[in-house]
Amino acid sequence: MKKILVANRGEIALRIMRTARKMGIRTVAVYSEADRHAPHVRFADQAVCLGPAPSNQSYLVIDKIIKAAKDTGTDGIHPGYGFLSENAEFAQRVEAAGITFIGPNVHAIEVMGSKLAAKDAVKAYKIPMVPGIDKAITDTEKAKVIANEIGYPILIKASAGGGGKGMRVVENSNELKSQMERAISEALSAFGDGSVFIEKYVASPRHIEIQVLADKYGNTVHLFERECSIQRRHQKVVEEAPSAVLTPELRARMGVDACRVAEACNYIGAGTVEFLLDENHNYYFLEMNTRLQVEHPVTELITGVDLVEEQIRVARGEKLRFQQDDLTIKGHAMELRVYAEDPTNDFLPSVGELLVYQKPVGENIRVDDGYEEGMEIPIYYDPMIAKLITYGATRDAAISNMENAIAQYQIEGIETTLPFGAFVMKHPAFTSGDFDTHFVKKFFTSQAILEDSKKGEMVAALAGLKLYLDGRKKLRVPGVIKS
Ligand code: MV4
């Protein structure tokens, strides 16, 4: 593989191109008119404009991307995350054009793109799953019988769903009919597929996911877990590795099961197997994400593995360079997603220009970003502008490094989730490790951040006063020359 086109933008496009360059592979960027001056365009060896800013006229247009790849003599396409990364048709069209898709095979994308097909595929592999059904259901009377067997509360899910869309909790049989009808119509309008199914509702789960890596010769390894429970309305905000609650024994069992899930769909490349973990530390397979994830850097920091490099190696037909026993966890990593959103105003998008943008620096700090001082944040795309990632020998050290890095990060012109990160890092439920997916809903108020900034202002005012008083003392001493 001599030249890779990255079918993405922002931080992940840069992240992928850095590794490609490290491997001696040339890079092609694609961009929309809004991204003409973006860092990923300048970093690439070549760049091709796809069209107007809206994604459906640029980053999502399969024909334009394949044409750009052909015109530039590209022999590999990396889709990043989001956009076309889990689009089976895209993967198929790339391969049909004689270009290597740096991602899994089309079959795995298709199977894991449907929650019901995914459940069906892993059924034979003895993977723990939440009690429920594995077929679409429309008959509300049949659903009542099944719900009674499972026991309330139950959860209705859309098979094609993602990001919590089409999910409904049902507390008792009186609500079942109406909630099911709503779930079906919601799924139909959101995904064009009204298939829904029923599961036991796990009330206070943690979201733990396992990174896997597989080559074309049947070798599959896992790279341990990421804890992703700190999320707001299904948008992850803080992730870490390893999880504060997994024992080595539980980690090993989940790792083996994650590899089995990958094997169930003949997976190739980097993938992520999502589990729910309940209060009693029972885990249940939820779904598999067939892409490189936003939060992959925390895994890289604790394992020393460059996941993009391994994706490229596997895609070009190399055997995995390590076995399970070669992989160990060293230290702890924390990631905060820096969104252009206002945490004091219900996380509303905060658009504008990055008047000041100075990122923190330090040995245990990594910033993956795609913007620079002076740039506008376009309204067309995901509001995540950067990922702040810290490392430490222990969880406490990684948290403390994150607090220092947040304090060092200077962003003016827009509001960001940095103050929200500071709130999380010092919250007792977070520092103790005893939290679940309801953390934000349970503990966060914008008031908490406003109080923090008041405290900050008070400290600044006191420091100013001290400087002033110290200065006066100097001036008062007779005969001393002012310095
Ligand atoms: C669940 C659940 C509780 N019980 N399934 C949310 C999105 C989708 N990936 C699956 N999700 C959930 N499935 C059962 N049977 C709770 C969630 C859930 C959740 C999962 C992971 C991370 C954050 C979440 C927030 C709310 C609900």
Ligand 1 contacts CB of residue 272 (under 6 A)? no
- Residue nearest (by alpha carbon) to ligand 1 atom 7: 164
Does any ligand 1 atom lie closer than 6 A to the CB of residue 199?
A: yes
- CATH code for position 273: 3.30.470.20
- What's phi and psi for 224, nearest 5 deg? 70, -165
Which pLDDT score is estimated for 163?
73
Q: 208 CB contacts (<8 Å, ≥6 apart)?
A: 225, 226, 227, 228, 229, 243, 246, 254, 274, 275, 276, 277, 283
Concerning whether 291 is annotated as a catalytic residue, the answer is yes
Q: H/E element holding 240?
A: strand 235-241
* 242/316 same-domain check: yes
Q: How far out from the chain centre does Cα 147 lie?
A: 33
In the three-class reduction of DSSP (H, G, I as helix; E, B as strand; rest coil), residue 161 is classed as coil
Are residues 289 and 181 both part of a single domain?
A: no
Q: Two tokens at 312?
A: 């490229």
Q: Which residue's CA is the closest to the ligand 1 atom numbered 11?
A: 164
| Domain match, 277 and 384 both | yes
Which residues are paired to 101 by β-bridges? 77
H or E element, residue 8:
none
Alpha carbon of 56 to ligand 1 centroid (Å): 29
Structural domain that includes position 150: 131-200
For the Cβ of 155 lying below 6 angstroms from any atom of ligand 1, the answer is yes
CA distance 71 to 350: 37
Residues paired with residue 122 on neighbouring β-strands, in sequence order: none
CATH of the domain at 157: 3.30.1490.20
Same domain, 395 and 280: yes
Q: Is 131 helix (H, G, I), strand (E, B) or coil?
A: coil
- Beta partners for residue 209, in sequence order: 226, 274
- If we measure between CA atoms, which residue out of 227, 196, 200, 451 comes closest to residue 343? 451
3-class SS at 36?
Answer: coil
289 pocket-lining for ligand 1 (C-beta < 6 Å): no
Among protein residues, the one whose CA lies closest to atom 16 of ligand 1: 202
CB of 164 sitting under 6 A from ligand 1 = yes
Structure tokens at 31: 């961009």
pLDDT at 470: 66
Quick one: which atom of ligand 1 is closest to the CA of 201?
4
Q: Which of 102, 122, 149 corresponds to the end of one domain? A: 102
For atom 8 of ligand 1, the residue with the nearest CA is 164
Find out whether the beta carbon of 29 lies less than 6 Å from any atom of ligand 1. Answer: no
On whether both 421 and 327 belong to a single domain, the answer is yes
Q: Is 437 in the pocket of ligand 1 (CB under 6 A)?
A: yes
Set 291, 313, 337, 395: catalytic member: 291
3-state secondary structure of 238: strand
| Domain of residue 80, CATH code | 3.40.50.20
352 and 385 belong to one structural domain: yes
Name the residue of 116, 156, 202, 282 to mutate for ligand 1: max ligand atoms within 8 A of Cβ. Answer: 202
Say which residue the tokens 């908490």 belong to: 448
Residue whose pair of structure tokens reads 């950067």 in the numeric block: 386
pLDDT digit string (tens) for the chain, length 483 residues: 999 999 999 999 999 999 999 999 999 999 999 999 999 999 999 999 999 999 999 999 999 999 999 999 999 999 999 999 999 999 999 999 999 999 999 999 999 999 999 999 999 999 999 999 989 998 999 999 999 999 999 999 998 887 777 799 999 999 999 999 999 999 998 888 888 999 999 999 999 999 999 999 999 999 999 999 999 999 999 999 999 999 999 999 999 999 999 999 999 999 999 999 999 999 999 999 999 999 999 999 999 999 999 999 999 999 999 999 999 999 999 999 999 999 999 999 998 999 999 999 999 999 999 999 999 999 999 999 999 999 999 999 999 999 999 999 999 999 999 999 999 999 999 999 999 999 999 999 999 898 877 666 666 666 666 666 666 554 444 444 433
| Residue 150 token pair | 């499972």
Cα separation of 78 and 263, whole Å?
Answer: 22
What is the DSSP annotation of 315-370? HTTPPPS--GGG----SEEEEEEEESEETTTTTEE--SB-SEEE----TTEEEEE-
Q: Is 231 in the pocket of ligand 1 (CB under 6 A)?
A: yes
- Establish if 451 belongs to a structural domain: no
- Is 180 in the same domain as 213? no
Type of residue numbered 32 = S
Give the Å distance between the CA of 275 and the centre of ligand 1: 9
Number of other residues whose CB lies within 10 A of the CB of residue 81: 16
- Determine if the peptide bond prior to 248 is cis (ω within 30°): no
Q: Is 201 in the pocket of ligand 1 (CB under 6 A)?
A: yes
C-alpha distances in angstroms, 119 versus 137, 275, 286? 15, 13, 8
Residues 189 and 139 in one domain: yes
The two three-digit tokens of residue 411, written as one number: 């962003």
For position 7, what pLDDT does the model report? 99
- H-state helical runs in 128-233: 140-150, 173-191
Distance CA 339, CA 359 (A): 14
Distance CA 429, CA 316 (A): 45
In a domain, 468, yes or no: no
Residue 119 lies in a domain: no
Among protein residues, the one with the nearest Cα to ligand 1's atom 21 is 207
Cβ–ligand 1 distance for 239 under 6 Å, the answer: no
Question: How far apart are the C-alpha atoms of 210 and 200, rounded to whole Å?
Answer: 22
CA nearest neighbour of 425 among 453, 384, 446, 396: 396
Tokens linked to 249: 């024994």
In a domain, 184, yes or no: yes
- Give the residue whose CA is nearest to atom 15 of ligand 1: 201
End-to-end CA distance of the chain: 63
Both 353 and 279 in a single domain?
yes
Tell me the CA–centroid distance for residue 138 and ligand 1, in Å.
22
What tokens appear for 198 in the block?
């029923």
Whether residue 271 is found in the same domain as residue 179: no
Compute the distance between CA of residue 353 and CA of residue 365 in angstroms, rounded to an integer.
Answer: 25
Q: Return all residues near 132 (Cβ < 8 A) that are at least 6 apart.
A: 150, 154, 197, 198, 199, 200
- Rounded to whole angstroms, how far apart are CA atoms 274 and 225? 9
Structure tokens at 396: 């406490």
Asked if 375 and 398 sit in the same domain, the reply is yes
Bridge partner list, 196: 158
* Boundary of a domain, candidates 200, 222, 245: 200
From the alpha carbon of 161, which atom of ligand 1 is closest? 8
DSSP state of 415: -
Mutate to test the pocket of ligand 1, among 209, 236, 437 (most ligand atoms within 8 A of CB): 437
Residues 167, 232 within the same domain: no
Rounded (10°) angle between helices 307-315 and 10-22: 70
